[in-house]
Amino acid sequence: MHVLVIDGFGDSPESRRRFQNFYNSVLKAFDLSWPYGKSVYTRRYDDIGDYLNENKDGFVQVDAIRQFDKVDFFFVDGDLQLRPWTQKVDKVFRLMQMCAQTGKCFFASSAFAAIVLCAINTRGIVEKIGRLHPSYPEGGNVEILNRVRPAHDQLFLDAQTGDMYKFDGDSGQWKKSFNCGLRRRRLQTNAKRLLGRFSMAYPRIMPEDHHEGQPGEVETSVMKWHVNHWLFQGLNAQRPFLFKLASTKWALSEATNSTKVSVLVEGPEGTIMFESGHFLCMETTMWACDKYPVLQTMMNNFVRVKSGIMQKLERLDYCSQLVLKVGEGSARDIMSRTIRPRSAIQLSVKQRLSYTKPGEEEGGC
């Protein structure tokens, strides 16, 4: 088992303590669910070029494909205020796209949840997010879009929805390009949760250990049809959860309400946790799991379920869509050699399916 923990924290002593909490939570989850050998690596979020399939010149890096193919789990968290349009996140954004294309297990929290959502919304078509218009570094209202002066290779962010607009020189108009997964908040983080049609209602009698959220905290609710989801095993999913948010200024956009994303937990502003394929993302700060033990239980469940699938299937992705997209014949051959063999269970099933009983051969009766 190969695990990559991506460090998105600052350099201050407090930030290093937070990273150690996050790192320990990952180790604790594997100690409970994976008694076999494992290798855990750590990398800074801006120092993961060894795992990307292309370098700055656009050539395929064979060693990077091998490195990426070996990793079974990716975990990322941080306390830096990173945004999808920040230049520093180009590498981690590209890594998320590769994981989405190849079905890797990816756990993202804090600011990186929005970057994952942006990678899902772009469907791998956009290799990196452009920079925002210099006159509107944090976006603006779409109503003023016609008065915005065009800028080359720069985007305009609709701060209310998270939609990105790009100027089309042929038509001379701003056109919607994609949704970046992030928008401005409309409510305070500690506002009373507004019940949605599909979220669990508040219990009539609150538990004795329940307390109101403080500034920076938010009360959340599990979606009704996900009460029995594997993520909430060992938890009472019918009562509200209290979490600490990574940002009091930005929230996940409503673009999560799509067929590609399944919303698990929502709060006053909408989505708090979502699942897409083998991605599990949350807007909360995972490094605070010592104060919010519910988060550690969710981390344990994520590792337990995904590692259990790997024990049965050897791995989750056999044919990499990454190489099919690259279209390189040599790279296709290299990837076919780097992919590990399937499990003994699958081989035995294949043999049984290909086995024919005596007398059933062609021409037999």
Q: Burial-class residue 7 by CB neighbours within 10 Å (0-12, 13-18, 19+).
A: buried
Please give the pLDDT value at position 57.
Answer: 62
What is the per-residue pLDDT for 216? 74
Domain ranges of the chain: 2-128+252-313, 130-179
- Would you state the pLDDT for residue 58? 60
Q: Which residue has the tokens 């990678």?
A: 119
Helix (H/G/I), strand (E/B), else coil: 108: strand
Taking alpha carbons only, the member of 97, 111, 39, 120 closest to residue 73 is 39
pLDDT at res. 336: 45
- Tens-of-pLDDT digits for all 365 residues of the chain? 899 999 999 999 999 999 999 999 999 999 998 888 889 999 999 999 889 876 656 666 778 888 898 899 999 999 998 988 888 898 999 999 888 888 889 999 999 999 999 888 887 677 778 888 888 888 888 888 888 888 777 889 988 888 899 888 777 888 888 888 888 887 655 555 555 555 555 555 555 555 555 667 888 888 888 899 999 999 988 888 888 887 778 888 876 555 678 899 988 888 899 999 899 999 999 998 888 899 999 999 999 999 888 877 654 443 444 444 444 433 334 444 444 444 444 445 455 555 544 554 444 44
Predicted local confidence at residue 73, as pLDDT? 94
SS (H, E, C) 91-147: HHHHHHHHHHHHCCEEEEECCHHHHHHHHHHHCCCCCCCCEECCCCCCCECHHHHHH
- In angstroms, rounded to a whole number, what is the distance separating the alpha carbons of residues 111 and 182? 9
Q: Determine the pLDDT at residue 305.
A: 93
Q: What CATH class has 2-128+252-313?
A: alpha beta
Residue 124 Ramachandran class (φ > 0 left, ψ -120 to 50 alpha, else beta): left
**Would you tell me the crossing angle of helices 13-33 and 293-313 to the nearest 10 degrees?**
50
Q: What pLDDT sits at residue 30?
A: 94
Model pLDDT, residue 197: 52
pTM of the model: 0.79
First to last CA, the chain: 50
Q: Calculate the CA 301 to chain-centre distance.
A: 16
* 3-state SS, residue 310: helix
Element (H, E) at 308: helix 293-313
* Residue among 357, 122, 134, 117 at smallest CA distance from 256: 117
